[in-house]
Amino acid sequence: MSGSNEQAAGEARRLHPISMLYFVSKGVKELYGWLPLIPVLAITAPKVFGPGASRLVVASVLAGGAVLLLVGIAWLRWRKFMYRIDADGIYAEHGLWVQKRLWITKESVQSLDTKAAVYDRMFGLVSLRLENAGASESEAMFSSVTRAEAERIRIALGFAPSAGASDGREQKHHEAEPTPTPAAPGYSALPASHSGKAAGSETTVIARTLSRQELLLHSTTTDKFGVILLLAAGGMGKLWDSWLADSAAWDFFAHRLGALGIGLAAMLLLFLCWLVAVAATYLTDYGFEVRLHDEKLHIAKGLLERKQFTLRRDRIQAVHLIDHALRRPFGLVTIRLIIAGAQENNEKTTVLFPLMKEAHAADFLARFLPAYVYQREWSVLDRSARRHYVFIPAFICGLLAMPAMIWIPGGFGWLALLLPAFAWLAGELSYRQTGWAMHGDQLAIRKGLFARHRILMPRRRVQWYRMTETPFQRTRGTASLKVTLASGQAGKPADIAHLPKPQAEAILRFLSRR
């Protein structure tokens, strides 16, 4: 039986034929700049093909030709994509014009992510993405493979999840004795918090599921609301002259109801944006679950599109705890991971758990990431640093507001005073929340304005660090410190400005010890 499995593992295979839909969408993105030529040629058809040419016929022929071209290219790409898996890693060939051959060793695979789109679920398929160490992008994308094939790839690469969680769907779990880690008060009472045994193995599996109550609270206090509001405001600004200014809705709210109508319209816009943000967050993080098995984290989430991420714990560079402004009064925190990898963006992060009580964060880290210690005590800035954070920015903004107060007519110039007031508030919040701590082998940095950010980083994960002094800082005995983690092309920076120079030198000595 083992010999036949080894033989099957080494044979070349193709993706499921439904993956041609993925290649069609990829072709549309590549030919996006040429697609506007279809309506342009249809409009100019009488000039190009003669007075008797029908614009509808020309447009239909061009659109049909484009569809046939995309389908043909997708079919060729599907035929060209071949892969083979053996005991050492995975080999893949793909490419239409240029044939690319990839060989990814088992040891170099840093993470393996799966995604089940709506059309994948109809056929019982998933998509896999393998990320290689130090790659600028995903080294291999397996679109639309069967769940059994995805499981086979996971097992061959050493990323098989724990029993009962291969597809990320809700499963029944057997209760077991809690893992012997430092227990936080009330942790055992958290929803779906349990541990168990993997099938045929003595390895302990630790799991934590986001409950329905936590999901609802997470959705209603999501930070996506601001992003959606900006997108909506930008879209309305573009449509103002062409449609919105002359629409019946704006005539009703602005002209018939007056100032009250404008206020109601603004409240309606805010409510609709919040509703969209709640729905998007609920669908994205539905059934969120994180599992620890065999030194790998398995994160599954999503309702319409089920996603599962699997990454090695040794790939984690730092833990990022975020207290958003709406959640901080309730003692809620989001835990993210900063991950190694040279991505096209400047950082690579993923959510470890979207929402939990801060009182349970210490025990959560002790169970899933014992190398990262929840920091309770912090060193803070001296009062002398307050002038750099608060007074100087507010003074500069006050100088900038004076011309606006003089030149803006109608008494609206006084609104320019909001600029130095905001600078004062932002500086005060930044000054109060800046802090640092050294504990064992870990450096922790705390920063933030309306949201508070805490980064826990082992010193072995620090890529580089430096201390700078300006002439003004030198006279006051302060310095600025910048620490960068190996994440993304430019790294993930964390800096502290205007801390006492002896403290900055102490942090440098701490980081220099190996």
Q: What is the DSSP string of 200-236?
A: T---EEEEEE--HHHHHHHHHT-THHHHHHHHHHHHH
DSSP 3-state of 158: coil
With CA atoms as reference, report the closest residue to 333 among 310, 346, 306, 351: 351
pLDDT tens sequence across 78-119: 888 888 888 778 888 887 777 778 787 777 777 788 888 777
Using alpha carbons, list the distances in angstroms from residue 183 to 180, 189, 333, 362.
Answer: 8, 11, 18, 9
Give me the half-sphere count of Cα atoms (radius 13 Å) on the Cβ side of residue 289.
30
Each residue's pLDDT tens digit, 212-268: 999 999 999 988 888 888 888 887 777 776 677 777 777 777 777 677 777 888 888
- The whole-angstrom separation of Cα 194 and Cα 294 is 16
Q: What is the pLDDT of residue 479?
A: 93
Enumerate the β-bridge partners of residue 83: 13, 92
pLDDT at 6: 42
Q: Are residues 152 and 221 in the same domain?
A: no
Given a contact cutoff of 8 angstroms between Cβ atoms, the answer to whether 366 and 181 are in contact is yes
DSSP string for residues in 231-264:
HHHHHHHHHTTTTGGGSHHHIIIIIISTHHHHHH
Three-state SS for 439? strand
Q: Average model confidence (pLDDT) for the chain? A: 79
Nearest CA to 480 out of 388, 387, 391, 390 is that of: 388
Is there a single domain that holds both residue 50 and residue 147? yes
Q: Are residues 395 and 507 in the same domain?
A: yes
Determine how β-strand 478-485 pairs with β-strand 462-468.
antiparallel
Helix axes 392-407, 418-433, angle to 10 degrees: 170
Whether 53 and 148 share a structural domain: yes
Mark which of 119, 134, 157 sits at the end of a domain.
157
Task: Assess whether 150 and 225 both reside in one domain.
Answer: no
pLDDT at 160: 67
The Cα diameter of the chain in Å comes to 87
pLDDT band at 147 (very low <50, low <70, confident <90, very high): confident
Instruction: Show the domain range for 440.
Output: 379-512
Structural domain includes residue 346: no
Q: Residues 299-312: pLDDT tens digits?
A: 999 988 888 888 88
Of all residues in the chain, the percent with pLDDT exceeding 90 is 29
Can you tell me the mean pLDDT for 144-150? 85
- Same domain assignment for residues 15 and 151: yes
Q: Report if residue 291 sits inside a domain.
A: no
In a domain, 491, yes or no: yes
**148 and 7, same structural domain?**
yes
Handedness of CA 4, 9, 12, 15 (dihedral sign): positive
Do 131 and 271 reside in the same domain of the chain? no
Length of the chain, please?
514
The answer to whether the beta carbons of residues 73 and 303 sit under 8 Å apart is: no
Task: Report the domain count for the chain.
Answer: 3
Distance separating alpha carbons of residues 215 and 284, to the nearest angstrom: 10
Q: How far apart are CA 101 and CA 103, in angstroms?
A: 7
Buried/exposed 110-130: b ≥16 CB within 10 Å, e otherwise: bbbbbbbbeebeeeebbbbbb
CATH number, domain containing residue 454: 2.30.29
Bridge partners of 297, per DSSP, are: 292, 311
- Is 344 domain-assigned? no
Under the banding of pLDDT at 50, 70 and 90, the label for residue 177 is: very low
169 in a structural domain: no
Judge whether residue 209 has pLDDT over 60: yes
Domain boundary among 232, 260, 284: 284
CA pair distance 124, 122, nearest whole angstrom:
6
pTM for the whole structure: 0.75
Of 361, 372, 373, 348, residue with least CA distance to 485: 348
Q: Which run of H or E residues covers position 32?
A: none
Q: Is residue 22 part of a domain?
A: yes
Select from 157, 175, 195 the last residue of a domain: 157
- Percent of the chain surpassing pLDDT 70: 81
Is 43 within 8 Å of 53 (Cβ atoms)? no
Kindly give, in sequence order, each residue whose CB lies less than 8 Å from that of residue 232, ignoring residues fewer than 6 positions away. Answer: 269, 272, 273
| Domain assignment present for 437 | yes
Sign for the CA dihedral angle at 291, 293, 299, 302 comes to negative
Q: Tell me, yes or no, whether 433 and 508 share the same domain.
A: yes
Kindly state whether residues 275 and 147 are assigned to the same domain: no
Residue 167: pLDDT band by 50, 70, 90 thresholds? very low
Asked if residue 153 and residue 8 are part of one domain, the reply reads yes
Q: Are residues 56 and 142 in the same domain?
A: yes
- Strand 204-209 vs strand 289-293: parallel, antiparallel, or unpaired? antiparallel
The answer to whether residue 24 sits within a structural domain is yes
Per-residue tokens: 421: 């007031």
pLDDT in tens, 75-84: 988 888 888 8
